[in-house]
């Protein structure tokens, strides 16, 4: 599935908006750089759930491939089993599919290449380009230097090739404890790019891996693994976010230091007559949205400390959380296309995301009625229960109609009643009239209070001549929503506000982002009533609750005895 939404640049056309990566790919195709192939990949680390920032990368990688009749792999860069799990693997696959994309072939894992990666490490040692270093992590940092001071060579840097091969093999056999030694590239400790100062390629970790079990006790680093995995899979365009720009020289150094023929023989193109060209890394700006954190460490902290109710909490910017809240895949794809792809980083206003969501829901969400703060009203002269046929969408006849029961006992929202008229108030007042949505005009005749003096019950009369027509001789301006008190279905409704109170909770000036959490980000309303059609198991999950906003049924927390609806977004911006 391609991202077929339109940005302002392409309005009126089915073509997606242009960007510098699309230009690069078009130029490579024109120059036959990869024999007409376009092969991208989406390479998440399975150490957390995907978030809105990942959606941009997913849309870009899968979209570029689809637009050029190419392929896009899903590859888990699973080189750090200490922080990874099968739960994250399964969630990532599920959310990519939900977003509307299918990867080429089987799911890939960097761990599937562990043997080839090890042999390439041996090759670097044999070329005198890698060595086993006994410095501890702290010592290695001290030797590395700073941005202004060059690093110093490790005292183990000049070990012989034979000694390094022996030590590397013993590392694999599990002879050494965690952290006792590592395999490092031999590049340049005086390089102005710290990533090139003899970076670590392998480290010892005696820990079980979620894919390979206990087969390995040494694990390759991300920088070493990523470029070789790209090369093995025949990736043509390795699209990364900007933080990897300083890592590109290392990406190129590793691939160019290895024998090109040996890379091809290990690759998916081994049996192909196609010319083998190493992948090229290109960086683009991350997606950053205000009032949001997307740093995986921060998101994990929110989950681990119980500040939210899991990775799929509807307040979280994870795809699982947004999906549970009621965001649609189409709205996220459209949003990513409208944001575009640039080289320089900037912060996107969250209102752009909300606009994309409202636009999609307004067009596609069926309508229903739900009373969030019920006030009981008796229709004293209604002859008996009747069934009304209401259109599911005011602009889409093809979405059909639903049956809504009107009974003598209904509930309206407390905010829709005043005992005395107020300027600008066009709803129900004592002695005044209002129309029930899709039904009759009613008049409030009597107000009853409870023992505490609170308004508890309204007695109203119905103008039985006003079903589908205006009353004669007078004009009734207000229209309110309602639900049958006897046939409405009880529901719990969760109202959401932004998770953070400040625009940039990830600012460098913020000492502790947790202090910026919004204490009112979640409000739970009990005792709400929703019309029966919206409660049916066979109905849609997401609705526009008329006059209230867009809501979606929480399939995880809803039971046969109790419905739970999450507020997706209001009808209009409230900030």
Taking only the tens place, the pLDDT of each residue in 341-382 is 998 888 999 999 999 999 999 999 999 999 999 999 999 999
Residue at 227 is within a domain: no
pLDDT reported for residue 540 = 84
pLDDT reported for residue 14 = 45
Cα separation of 417 and 454, whole Å? Answer: 13
Q: What integer is the mean pLDDT of 53-57?
A: 96
For position 208, which CATH number holds?
A: 3.90.800.10
Residue ranges making up the domain that contains 195: 114-222
User: Which tokens is 367 given?
Assistant: 């309508």
For position 464, which CATH number holds?
A: 2.40.240.10
Residue where a domain terminates, one of 463, 488, 513: 488
Cα separation of 558 and 334, whole Å? Answer: 29
Residue 6 has pLDDT above 60, yes or no: no
Tens of pLDDT, residue by residue over 429-477, are 999 999 999 999 999 999 999 999 999 999 999 999 999 999 988 899 8
Tens of pLDDT, residue by residue over 141-161, are 999 999 999 999 999 999 999
Cα separation of 158 and 452, whole Å? Answer: 87
Residue at 173 is within a domain: yes
Alpha-carbon distances of 78 from 132, 217, 423, 473, rounded to whole Å? 23, 14, 63, 74
Cα separation of 331 and 355, whole Å? Answer: 9
Residue 134 has pLDDT above 80, yes or no: yes
User: Please, which pLDDT band fits residue 424 given cuts at 50, 70 and 90?
Assistant: confident
Number of domains in the chain: 2
pLDDT reported for residue 16 = 58
Residue at 2 is within a domain: no
pLDDT reported for residue 551 = 97
Residue at 410 is within a domain: yes
- With contact defined as beta carbons under 8 Å apart, do 332 and 52 qualify? yes
Residue where a domain terminates, one of 222, 253, 278: 222
User: Please, which pLDDT band fits residue 17 given cuts at 50, 70 and 90?
Assistant: low
Which residues lie closer than 8 Å to 564 by C-beta, 6 or more apart? 491, 492, 493, 494, 553, 554, 557, 558
Residue where a domain terminates, one of 171, 206, 222: 222
Residue at 372 is within a domain: yes
Provide the mean pLDDT of the chain: 94
Tens of pLDDT, residue by residue over 375-414, are 999 999 999 999 999 999 999 999 999 999 999 999 999 9
pLDDT reported for residue 95 = 97
Tens of pLDDT, residue by residue over 301-339, are 999 999 999 999 999 999 999 999 999 999 999 999 999
Beta bridge partners of 524: 494
Residue at 362 is within a domain: no
Q: What DSSP character marks residue 72? A: E
Residue at 177 is within a domain: yes
Tens of pLDDT, residue by residue over 528-565, are 999 999 998 878 899 999 999 999 999 999 988 889 99
Residue at 109 is within a domain: no
Give the predicted TM-score (pTM) of the model: 0.91
């Amino acid at each position: 599935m391609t991202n077929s939404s339109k940005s302002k640049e392409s309005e009126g056309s089915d073509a997606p908006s242009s960007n510098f990566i699309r230009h690069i790919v078009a130029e490579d195709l024109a120059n036959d750089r990869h024999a007409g192939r376009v092969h991208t990949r989406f390479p998440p680390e399975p150490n957390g759930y995907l978030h809105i920032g990942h959606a941009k990368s997913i849309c870009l990688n899968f979209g570029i491939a689809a637009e050029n009749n190419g392929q896009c792999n899903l590859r888990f860069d699973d080189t750090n089993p200490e922080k990874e799990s099968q739960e994250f693997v399964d969630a990532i696959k599920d959310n990519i599919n939900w977003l509307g994309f299918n990867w080429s072939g089987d799911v890939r894992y960097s761990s599937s290449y562990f043997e080839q990666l090890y042999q390439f490490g041996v090759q670097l040692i044999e070329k005198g380009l890698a060595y086993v270093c006994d410095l501890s992590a702290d010592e290695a940092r001290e030797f590395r230097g700073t941005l202004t001071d060059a690093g110093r060579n490790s005292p183990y840097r000049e070990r012989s090739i034979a000694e390094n091969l022996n030590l590397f093999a013993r590392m694999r056999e599990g002879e050494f404890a965690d952290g006792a030694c590592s395999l490092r590239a031999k590049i340049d400790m005086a390089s102005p790019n710290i990533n090139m100062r003899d970076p670590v390629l392998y480290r010892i970790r005696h820990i079980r891996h979620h894919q390979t079990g206990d087969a390995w006790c040494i694990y390759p680093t991300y920088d070493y693994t990523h470029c070789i995995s790209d090369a093995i899979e025949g990736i043509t365009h390795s699209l990364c976010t900007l933080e990897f720009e300083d890592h590109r020289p290392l990406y190129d150094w590793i691939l160019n230091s290895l024998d090109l023929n040996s890379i091809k023989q290990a690759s998916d193109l081994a049996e192909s007559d196609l010319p083998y060209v190493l992948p090229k890394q290109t960086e683009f700006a991350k997606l950053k949205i205000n009032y949001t954190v997307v740093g995986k460490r921060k998101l994990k902290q929110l989950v681990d400390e119980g500040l939210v109710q899991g990775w799929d909490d509807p307040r979280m910017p994870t795809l699982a959380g947004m999906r549970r809240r009621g965001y649609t895949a189409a709205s996220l794809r459209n949003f990513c296309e409208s944001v575009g792809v640039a080289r320089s980083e900037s912060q996107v206003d969250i209102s752009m995301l909300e606009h994309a969501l409202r636009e999609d829901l307004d067009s596609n969400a069926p309508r229903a009625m739900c009373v969030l703060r019920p006030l009981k009203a008796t229709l004293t002269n209604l002859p008996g229960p009747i069934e009304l046929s209401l259109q599911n969408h005011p602009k889409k006849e093809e979405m059909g109609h639903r049956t809504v029961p009107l009974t003598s006992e209904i509930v309206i929202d407390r905010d829709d009643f005043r005992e005395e008229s107020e300027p600008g108030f066009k709803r129900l007042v004592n002695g005044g009239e209002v129309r029930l949505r899709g039904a009759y005009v009613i008049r409030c005749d009597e107000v009853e209070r409870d023992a505490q003096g609170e308004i508890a019950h309204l007695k109203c009369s119905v103008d039985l001549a006003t079903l589908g027509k205006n009353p004669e001789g007078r004009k009734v301006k207000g229209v309110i929503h309602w639900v049958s008190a006897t046939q409405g279905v009880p529901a719990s409704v969760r109202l959401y506000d932004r998770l953070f109170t400040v625009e940039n909770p990830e600012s460098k000036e913020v000492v502790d982002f947790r202090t910026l959490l919004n204490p009112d980000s979640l409000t739970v309303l009990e005792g709400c009533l929703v019309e029966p059609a919206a409660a049916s198991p066979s109905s849609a999950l997401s609705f526009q609750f008329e006059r209230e906003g867009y809501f979606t049924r929480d399939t995880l927390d809803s039971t046969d005895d109790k419905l739970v609806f999450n507020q997706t977004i209001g009808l209009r911006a409230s900030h």
